[in-house]
Amino acid sequence: MPPPAKIGLREVTKSYASRRVTVEAVGPLSVEVGEGEFVVLLGPSGCGKTTLLNLVAGFEPPTSGEVLVDGRPVTGPGPDRVMIFQEPALFPWLSVLDNVAFGLRQHAHLSAAERRAIAERHLEMVHLEGFAQAWVHELSGGMKQRAALARALAPGPRALLCDEPFGSLDALTRERLYAELQELHSTTRKTILFVTHNTREAACLADRVLVLTVRPARVKRVIPVDLPRPRDFYDARVSVLAGQILAELRSEMNQERGTTDDRDPADG
Amino acid sequence: MTETRQTVRNTLALLAFLLAALILWQAVTALRWLPSYAFPSPAQVVARLWELAVDGQLWPSVRASVIRMALGFVLSAVLGLLIGLAMGTSELVNSSLRSVFLGLQTLPSAAWVPISLLIFGLSDAAIYFVIIMSSTAAMAIATADGIAHIPPVFVRAARTLGTPPRAMSTRVVLPAALPGIVTGIKLGWTLGWHGVVSAELIKSSVGLGFLLHAGRELNDAAQVIGIMLVTIFLGLLLDRLLFAAVERRVRARWGFAPVAARA
């Protein structure tokens, strides 16, 4: 298994210029994410956290500053850092198994049988081995997101970039996936960069929570989380921490109220 | 169980309707409002078709039309897919071609016949030209629209999973646009079928269009109506044979509701 990635953002800014206004979405912001670390980026809706993830994924270049993976600048998307989206984004024209095997097509050295075996192993990892031949629309919302997780893990990425992947699921499903994601993180030791606006989710999952400011996104506060794993979503210590994080987030939003307008919430 | 019962019921309803229409037709001709050479009875039409089949006129014409259609349609489908792909992936190509294609689509198939005769003369190339001009634009536009409606997150997911840009069309864009492409191809098939018959109507010594034309020359309305019915029947039959299975598979994969039962 490839070693986890080290992600670095150095003095990164991102702004979007339209004809009438320039929107500053990010920065300047500097973050170092260690190998195998689980970092949660937490901020109010529209604060630029998805933009931040897009920069690391290589979907867009930063306006200034550097995005580094293991010290090398990111030049585009790559299977060493796979992004998981809010919607599962599974391909309806492929079976669940072929979806999971999709990222393996680039691995020319693997035979078809080997690709299949790897995909099956990852389906088992997310407890979907019985659904290999199902079509995507036959899965429930939670199963779809688990299949998306298997698809992201199958090519052996060194980092996972998660953009509120559980945001549209019901509470019960979500809580089960928190447990599964923690288990995957402890067994595979991927570096994980996870975006959310849910403080309890942040407290439950993170090694470190970065509370972001209202746009342009900067790091307002770094909160290390030393609670033992696996953490239960309803653990009292998780609740206490989530309360502290929420207080931090509220103070940020109160400070900004009145000084920003509601124009163009470019991302969530 | 209930699904098959519903299918049976719908089929019976259709058969009853067709039977009623036939009876009405026969009854109206019995009133003799129009002379039988202009408005023949169903029995006369069937008798004329039978004659055409027996004396060996029908089959060569059916075969000629179907072969022309097959070749012309394959050419036009390949062209339509490629142009549609170019339109769907390049804003420049799309904005250049779309309005031209929409304009061309307003032309009836028959309007292509005179110019094709001027360019290609009395050759089969003239017929292929009419098929291609009748159906390519519709297929290109449907393909381009299918591509435009692909959720952007599919492309992003494929990119983050390491799909190289050169493989994007075949692995993501075309398969994701498949529902739109299937719609376009079915529409293209119908328009192409219009094109074959229109072209044969004016030039050709064999083909369904030729038999229509010959029927008019001979003041033989039974032949004209009979060939019209054969044209409808063949068009529907080939559509079902060629596309029903593909459409069913796409619907099963995407999880669309099945098409209401058709006979």
Residues A50-96: pLDDT tens digits? 889 999 999 999 999 899 998 889 999 988 899 999 999 999 999 99
Asked if A265 contacts A45 with a C-beta cutoff of 8 angstroms, the reply is yes
Domain of residue A36: give its range. Answer: 7-256
Q: Which two tokens stand for residue A54?
A: 């897009």
Q: Is A222 exposed, middle or buried (0-12, 13-18, 19+ CB in 10 A)?
A: exposed
Q: Nearest C-alpha of chain A: how many angstroms from B81?
A: 18
The minimal CB distance from B160 to the residues A82, A94, A105 is found for A82
Joined tokens for residue A214: 């209202």
Contact assignment for B175 to A85 by CB distance below 8 Å:
no
Arithmetic mean of pLDDT, B187-213: 89
Residue B262 has pLDDT above 80, yes or no: no
Residue A89 at interface with chain B, using a CB cutoff of 8 Å: yes
- How far does A236 lie from chain B, in Å, by closest CA? 37
Task: Give the count of Cβ contacts less than 8 A between chain A and B.
Answer: 71
Minimal C-alpha gap between B171 and chain A (Å): 9
User: Is B29's pLDDT higher than 60?
Assistant: yes
Mutate which: B156, B161, B172, vs A, most A CBs within 10 A? B161
**Any idea what DSSP says for residue A257?**
B
- A60, A51 Cβ separation under 8 angstroms: yes
Return d(Cα B247, Cα B220) in angstroms, integer: 39
Chain B CB contacts of A74 below 8 Å: none
Share of chain B above pLDDT 90, in %: 53
Query: In this predicted structure, what is the pLDDT of residue B161?
Result: 93
B174/chain A closest Cα distance in angstroms: 10
B257 interfaces chain A, CB cutoff of 8 Å: no
The residue-averaged pLDDT of B233-259 equals 84
Give the gyration radius of chain A's Cα atoms: 19
DSSP 8-class letter at A5: P
- Mean of the pLDDT values across residues A154-166? 91
Type of residue at A98? D
The angle, 0 to 180 degrees and rounded to 10, between the axes of the packed helices A112-125 and A141-153 is 130
Q: Work out the pLDDT band at A264, boundaries 50, 70, 90.
A: very low
Question: A22-33 and A159-163: which strand pairing?
Answer: unpaired
Average pLDDT, chain A: 86
* Secondary structure E strands in A103-218: 159-163, 191-196, 208-212
The per-residue pLDDT for A1 is: 62
Residue A114 token pair: 């080997």
- Distances in whole angstroms, Cα of residue B249 to Cα of each of A51, B6, B51: 38, 21, 41
Is the model's pLDDT at B140 over the cut of 80? yes
Answer whether residue A127 is part of any domain.
Answer: yes
Please report which confidence band the pLDDT of residue B48 belongs to, taking 50, 70 and 90 as the band edges. Answer: very high
Least Cα distance to A156 among A90, A231, A81 occurs for A81
* B8 CA to centre of own chain: 27
pLDDT level of residue B263 (50, 70, 90 thresholds): very low
Q: Count how many Cα atoms sit within 13 Å of the Cα of residue B141 in the half-sphere of its side chain.
A: 18
Q: Does A156 contact B at CB distance below 8 Å?
A: no
> Closest Cα partner for A29 from A212, A248, A265?
A212
Alpha-carbon torsion, ordered A189, A193, A195, A199, to 10 deg: 60
| Cα–Cα dist B167/B147, whole Å | 15
CA-CA distance, A30 to A40, in Å (whole number)?
A: 15
In a domain, residue A213? The reply is yes
Q: Quick one: CA torsion of A47, A48, A53, A56, rounded to 10 degrees? A: -140
Q: What is the pLDDT of residue B1?
A: 52
Contact assessment for residue B84 and residue B183, using Cβ atoms and an 8 Å cutoff = no
CA dist A16 and A26 (Å) reads 10
Q: Identify the closest residue of chain B to A161 by CA–CA distance.
A: B160
Using 50, 70 and 90 to split pLDDT, how confident is the model at A101?
very high
CATH number where A104 lies? 3.40.50.300
Q: Tell me: pLDDT of B244 over 70.
A: yes
Number of domains forming the structure of chain A:
1
State the burial class of residue B232 (Cβ atoms within 10 Å of its Cβ: 0-12, 13-18, 19+). exposed
ipTM of the complex: 0.87
| Chain A contact probe: residue of B149, B150, B160 with most A CBs at under 10 A | B160
B4: exposed, middle or buried (C-beta count within 10 Å: 0-12, 13-18, 19+)?
exposed
pLDDT at residue number A250: 85
CATH fold for domain B40-254: MetI-like fold (1.10.3720)
Element (H, E) at A29: strand A22-33
Is residue A172 within 8 angstroms of chain B, CB to CB? no
pLDDT of residue A262: 47
Domain assignments of chain B as residue spans, ordered by start: 1-33, 40-254
A219 lies in some domain: yes
Task: State residue B2's pLDDT score.
Answer: 67
CA A157 distance to own-chain centroid: 13
Classify residue A72 as exposed, middle or buried by CB count within 10 Å of its CB (0-12, 13-18, 19+).
exposed
Q: How far is CA A52 from CA A6, B182, B202, in A?
A: 16, 39, 65
Mean residue pLDDT across chain B: 89
pLDDT band at B194 (very low <50, low <70, confident <90, very high): very high
- The pTM assigned to this predicted structure is 0.81
Chain A interface includes B255 (CB < 8 A)? yes
Asked if the model's pLDDT at residue B251 lies above 90, the reply is no
Q: Strands A64-69 and A7-17, how do they pair? A: antiparallel
Chain A residues with CB under 8 Å of B153 CB are 85, 87, 89
Task: Give the whole-angstrom CA distance, residue B89 versus residue B173.
Answer: 9
| Furthest C-alpha separation in chain A | 60
Yes or no, beta carbons of A77 and B162 under 8 Å apart: yes
What's residue A263's pLDDT?
Answer: 45
- Write down the pLDDT at residue A266: 43
Nearest chain B Cα to A81, which residue?
Answer: B160
B37 against A208, higher pLDDT:
A208
User: Is the peptide bond preceding residue B42 cis, with omega within 30 degrees of 0?
Assistant: no
Question: What residue of A is the nearest CA neighbor of B256?
Answer: A137
CB A12 within 8 A of CB A29: yes
Nearest chain B Cα to A87, which residue? B153
DSSP character for A190? -
Question: A182-196, A248-262, B88-102, B193-207: lowest mean pLDDT where?
Answer: A248-262
Is the preceding peptide bond at A28 cis, omega within 30 degrees of 0?
yes
Average pLDDT over residues B26-40: 82
**B64 token code pair:** 């000629």
pLDDT at A6 over 60: yes
pLDDT bracket for residue B35 (50, 70, 90): confident
Cβ contacts of B167 on chain A, cutoff 8 Å: 105
Encode pLDDT of A162-211 as tens digits. Answer: 999 888 888 888 888 888 889 888 888 889 999 998 888 998 999 999 98
Considering the domain boundaries, does residue A207 fall inside one?
yes
